[in-house]
């Protein structure tokens, strides 16, 4: 990954206004910063959230709280708990996520 000329700064995620993204069920609240082509997000999924699409974007994802189930189009499912992460490249393996009780994630893509 190439990180462009981004000056040193800190982010207080509590000060970033969330945008609301409706799922098939539930909602995702994204607090987003953009650094050139790199998007960094703190995402909170509501209890019962299920993605409404297969995602083909690459991500590096770290689970901070809760439990996230990610289904891959090939039939595999992985479960992330706090302290676990996954990474997948652009257009590599379509995936979609859901959570029964809610989850909080840090995502770079």
> What's the CATH number where 24 sits?
2.60.120.10
9 found inside a domain = no
Contacts of 91 (CB under 8 A, 6+ apart): 56, 58
pLDDT in the model for residue 36: 87
Q: Based on the structure, what is the number of domains in the chain?
A: 1
66 found inside a domain = yes
Q: Which domain range does residue 98 map to?
A: 18-108
β-pair type (19-22, 77-80)? unpaired
pTM: 0.92
Model confidence pLDDT, tens digit, residues 24-75: 999 999 999 999 889 999 999 999 999 999 999 999 999 999 999 999 999 9
Put the strands of the sheet holding 95-98 in their side by side order: 77-80, 68-72, 95-98
Asked whether the predicted pLDDT for residue 87 surpasses 80, the reply is: yes
Q: Which residues pair with 77 in a beta bridge?
A: 71
């Amino acid at each position: 990954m190439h990180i462009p000329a981004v000056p040193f700064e800190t982010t207080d995620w509590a000060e970033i206004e969330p945008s609301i993204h409706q799922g098939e069920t539930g909602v995702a609240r994204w607090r987003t910063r953009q650094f050139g082509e790199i998007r960094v997000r703190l995402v909170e999924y509501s209890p019962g959230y299920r993605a409404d699409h297969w995602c083909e974007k690459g991500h590096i994802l770290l689970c901070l709280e809760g439990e996230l189930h990610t289904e891959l189009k090939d039939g595999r499912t992985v479960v992330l708990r706090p302290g676990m992460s996954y990474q997948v490249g652009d257009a590599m393996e379509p995936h979609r996520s859901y959570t029964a009780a809610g989850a909080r994630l840090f995502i770079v893509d």
